[in-house]
Amino acid sequence: MKKTVCLFLVIGIIYSQAADFNFSSNKPENSKIISYHASFWLSELLMINPMSQSRLTISFGQSISISKVKNKHWFLPNSDFGFKVTENLALTSKIYGFILSNDQPQVFSVGGQYFFGDKEKSSVFSLNKSNLKGLNDFRLSCLTLNIQKWGRWNDVLFNIGIGSNFFKEVTYASNTEIPSKIEGQTNFLSFTLMKKIYSAVLGGSLKLHPYRQYFSWFVQKNF
């Protein structure tokens, strides 16, 4: 029964997406807005509990843009897995794709998380490199740096983080009014809550920037 529920959850995430990555030829300024929001979505990191003894973490979820993009809220999937190589180091990755009305986005990502600090190693430094392909109008790569501090309140885990996302975009369109390349940086604050329910972990996070905000929810399984 649990496997069936998880299967329907994953299918629901994949097929309930809403986003528009297409540049408008009559509104070239949209290219920058879309690039910044796409990169900010890709900056979502796998939440690995540094105080857990589990080695493997698998996570599925969704990011929802609080700020509107072209007058719409984006709903985009997240799928991550990570493996603790040592008590201090974990390797993470994203490899997945999904279907939109006009695009078939493909996400590829590799990264690492280093745990340090007190006995519970509650401080985490994360580095993640992501690529977004499969779009009609552009491709994008980004690098995310993040520092988080974890804590515990009763049976709820939480963390507060600060991060920076750097991206480079390459445009396919031949419209001379749309930049052929876009580069940018987004500095942000993040807040995450996690709670174990039965054998899974449920969580939610906020990423905040003055012009861009995302809420993300996720379900994790640790082994």
**Lowest mean pLDDT, pick from 56-60, 99-103, 143-147, 161-165:** 99-103
Cβ 57 vs Cβ 82: under 8 Å: yes
Q: Is the pLDDT of residue 12 over 70?
A: no
pTM: 0.91
Rounded to whole angstroms, the Cα distance separating 97 from 124 reads 28
Place of tokens 């690529």: 131
- Domains defined for the chain, CATH in brackets: 2-222 (2.40.160.20)
Q: Is the pLDDT of residue 191 over 50?
A: yes
Using alpha carbons, select from 31, 22, 63 the residue that is nearest to residue 46. Answer: 63
CB atoms within 10 A of CB 16: 11
Confidence label for 1 from pLDDT (cuts 50, 70 and 90): very low
Regarding predicted confidence, which is higher, 7 or 121?
Answer: 121
HSE (CB half, 13 Å, CA atoms) of 170? 6
Query: What type of residue is 169?
Result: E
Sign of CA dihedral 64, 215, 81, 127: positive
% of the chain exceeding 90 in pLDDT: 76
3-state secondary structure of 29: coil
Query: What type of residue is 182?
Result: I
Q: Is the pLDDT of residue 193 over 60?
A: yes
Using alpha carbons, select from 124, 139, 137 the residue that is nearest to residue 42. Answer: 139
Query: What type of residue is 55?
Result: R
Regarding predicted confidence, which is higher, 23 or 202?
Answer: 202
Q: Is the pLDDT of residue 4 over 50?
A: no
Q: Is the pLDDT of residue 212 over 90?
A: yes
Rounded to whole angstroms, the Cα distance separating 36 from 207 reads 14
- 91 backbone φψ class: left, alpha, beta (φ>0; ψ -120 to 50): beta
Confidence label for 16 from pLDDT (cuts 50, 70 and 90): low
Record the tokens describing residue 177, joined without a space.
């009014």
Q: Is the pLDDT of residue 20 over 70?
A: yes
Rounded to whole angstroms, the Cα distance separating 68 from 211 reads 10
Residue 205 phi, psi dihedral angles, 5° rounding: -145, 155
Confidence label for 65 from pLDDT (cuts 50, 70 and 90): very high
Of the chain, the end-to-end C-alpha distance in Å amounts to 19
Q: Is the pLDDT of residue 176 over 80?
A: no
State the pLDDT at residue 10: 52
Confidence label for 7 from pLDDT (cuts 50, 70 and 90): very low
Residue 43 phi, psi dihedral angles, 5° rounding: -75, -5
Rounded to whole angstroms, the Cα distance separating 152 from 160 reads 12
State the pLDDT at residue 200: 94
State the pLDDT at residue 215: 97
